A and B are shown apart, each in its own frame.
Chain A
Amino acid sequence: EAGVAQSPRYKIIEKRQSVAFWCNPISGHATLYWYQQILGQGPKLLIQFQNNGVVDDSQLPKDRFSAERLKGVDSTLKIQPAKLEDSAVYLCASSETSLTGYFGPGTRLTVL
């Protein structure tokens, strides 16, 4: 079974630029999550989708972050404009139910 795919794996941008990350969940998984993991900390949930609907985006900085999952399958997370403090690893995870999920390898973002 293929795992959760994410691209790109690494991205370096300058502050105020825009960036987008892509996630393809495990086939058939209805629930998809985006987490932000800042160096030295545990992951923090940004947004949770159930199919193509948002379940929880309470910790998403909506002034600069956006996410979509148009057809209930893959998803994109966008940051516009990026700030220095957005440097982090962005993890995507998916699950068949709302329980145990499977994580992708992450995208490491560096904002200069």
Chain B
Amino acid sequence: AQSVTQPDIHITVSEGASLELRCNYSYGATPYLFWYVQSPGQGLQLLLKYFSGDTLVQGIKGFEAEFKRSQSSFNLRKPSVHWSDAAEYFCAVSLKGGSQGNLIFGKGTKLSVKP
């Protein structure tokens, strides 16, 4: 069955440090891949998405993600974390044609930022 795994439930980093959030997927074909961020009491906001082409994808707020087919991974990175990045991050896979309606989400990684 298709699934998305985010191995880290909670990560704490110092402000200014680099960040990498892991995401692995299980799916027969190359899926469409997404990263969302959810701040407390807020809805989900799309950070970036991968459909095809260049495997390094740039997103909003200084985030990027790299698709590695051989590892079935789509890890999210940021070179220098800001306190405002504290939130929960969700990786998602689309099963059909990029339609958001068919998204399968991971369980999320909560990011805390130390001053």
Contact = CB atoms under 8 A, between A and B. Distances in A.
Interface of A: 3-4, 31, 33, 40-45, 48, 55-56, 91, 93, 95, 98-106
Contacts of B45: 103
Contact of A101 (B42, B90, B97, B100): B100
A56 B44 contact: no
Interface stretch (B13-21, B74-82, B105-113): B105-113
A55 B105 contact: no
Interface of B: 4, 41-46, 49, 90, 92, 97-108
Contact of B100 (A4, A42, A93, A105): A93
A105 B107 contact: no
Nearest to B98: A99
B46 A100 contact: yes
A41 B104 CA distance: 11
A41 to B, nearest CB: 5
B43 A45 contact: no
Given A42-B105, A42-B106, A44-B105, A95 B43 contact: no
A23 B99 CA distance: 20
Instruction: Please name the 8 residue pairs, one residue from A and one from B, whose CB atoms are nearest each other, closest first.
Output: A42-B105, A103-B43, A48-B101, A98-B99, A103-B44, A101-B100, A105-B43, A104-B43
A98 B105 contact: no
Contacts of B104: 42
Contact of B103 (A4, A31, A41, A45): A45
Given A91-B44, A103-B45, A105-B43, A43 B105 contact: yes
25 contacts: A4-B43, A31-B100, A31-B101, A40-B108, A42-B4, A42-B104, A42-B105, A42-B106, A43-B44, A43-B103, A43-B105, A56-B101, A56-B102, A91-B43, A91-B44, A93-B43, A98-B97, A98-B100, A98-B101, A100-B46, A100-B100, A101-B46, A105-B41, A105-B42, A106-B43
